Amino acid sequence: MISDRQHPTAVAGAGGGDLPRQSGEGAVRQPRVSLRGIRKTFGSHQALRGVDLDIYPGECLGLVGDNAAGKSTLTKVISGTYIPDDGSISIEGQEVRFSGPADARDRNIEMVFQDLSLCDHVDVVGNLFLGRELTKGPFLDRSRMMTEARAMLDALEIRIPRLSAKVEKLSGGQRQAIAIARAASFNPKVLIMDEPTSALAVAEVEAVLNLINRVKAKGVSVILITHRLQDLFRVCDRIAVMYEGTKVAERDIGKTDLQDLVQLIVGGQKH
């Protein structure tokens, strides 16, 4: 029936405790998530045509590409929301087959969805704890969730005056902040952010970029999808470029620039 997947506690600090971080150029680094030959077709539309991708601990991978290049689909495959038609997913060297989003969440893969995936009719606390409600027997432990939600939002410096307000009453930026807080606060090992800053003002974007750098330092692998290319240079270690359902290029951040990225995104034509 309903499996009990309750977290022992929400962690006060964003990103939670330290994760082992493998670094060093010499040693063979093991990718935290490794995708091989991922294919996904919707009807007659080939959304992904065989994508290979590695994400290492403690790094931020920027995922860029034109509209409908397959960025969101690829990240949804990693988060278990879509089941790929073909290809393999390995986590820390072990091949896994997700049967749904719950599997990915159990393996500490968290995602901020482009559409935010909030329940408008549920209050702020309820959305932060959606899917891992703290309970006493069958009953919701409201007071504990309220306290921990406040701590979660404080740790991310997100200010929302009334946590019992329904999410539908909040602004676009506040909603996005809640979606980010939900993904970042429960010890993620892989944090996927699909356009997390689209509704945010300048100061809030800064806060998100700082958050990414903070969780990276704790060993979290971050995948960032954004159309704000200048942000990529602030937080990313590597950039993968997608085009028409394939990965066309991968660049270390030090070996690329805006001009290069733009050319890769639009299809490599020389201007």
Partner 1 sequence: MTAYTERAAGSPVADFLSEHAQVLSIAVFFLACLIFFSVTTDTFLTLGNILNVLRQAAPILVVAVAMTLVIITGGIDLSVGSQVALVNAVAAIILAMGYPWPVVAVGMLAFGALLGMAQGWFVAYQGIPAFIVTLAGLSILRGFALYLTQGYSIPIKDVPGFFAIGRGEFLGMPVPALIAILVAVVGYVIIAYTKYGRQVVAVGSNLEAARRVGMPAKWIVASVYMVSGIACALAGLLIAARLGSGSSNAAVGFELQVIAAVVLGGTSLMGGRGSILGTVLGTLTIAVIGNGLILMHISPFFTQIVTGAIILVAIWLNTKIFTTNFRLGGRKA
Residues making contact with partner 1 (CB under 8 A)? 1-3, 5, 79, 81, 100-102, 105-106, 111, 113, 117-122, 126, 130-133, 135, 138-140, 142, 157-162, 165-166, 169, 174, 177, 203-204, 206-207
Residue pair 33/221 in contact (Cβ under 8 Å)? The answer is: yes
Q: Which is nearer to partner 1, 3 or 94 (CB)?
A: 3
Q: Computed over its alpha carbons, how large is the radius of gyration of the chain? A: 19
Q: Least distance (Å) from partner 1 to the CB of residue 12?
A: 16
Q: Which is nearer to partner 1, 149 or 261 (CB)?
A: 149
Residue pair 51/246 in contact (Cβ under 8 Å)? The answer is: yes
Q: C-alpha distances in angstroms, 190 versus 59, 201, 254?
A: 10, 25, 23
Q: Least distance (Å) from partner 1 to the CB of residue 111?
A: 8
User: The dihedral of CA 188, 189, 194, 195: what is its sign?
Assistant: positive
Q: Which is nearer to partner 1, 195 or 204 (CB)?
A: 204
Q: C-alpha distances in angstroms, 91 versus 131, 185, 241?
A: 22, 21, 22
CB atoms within 10 A of CB 207: 17
Q: Which is nearer to partner 1, 18 or 106 (CB)?
A: 106
Task: Report how far residue 267's alpha carbon sits from residue 186's, in angstroms, rounded to the nearest whole number.
Answer: 38
Give the residue from 15, 42, 6, 7 showing the smallest Cα distance to 155: 15
Q: Which is nearer to partner 1, 97 or 162 (CB)?
A: 162
Q: Which is nearer to partner 1, 27 or 203 (CB)?
A: 203
Q: Least distance (Å) from partner 1 to the CB of residue 134?
A: 9
Q: Least distance (Å) from partner 1 to the CB of residue 207?
A: 4
Task: Report how far residue 132's alpha carbon sits from residue 148's, in angstroms, rounded to the nearest whole number.
Answer: 13
Mention every residue, 6+ apart, whose C-beta is less than 8 A from residue 234. 209
Region class of 126: left (phi > 0), else alpha (psi between -120 and 50), else beta: alpha
Q: Least distance (Å) from partner 1 to the CB of residue 263?
A: 34
Q: Least distance (Å) from partner 1 to the CB of residue 121?
A: 4
Q: Which is nearer to partner 1, 131 or 268 (CB)?
A: 131
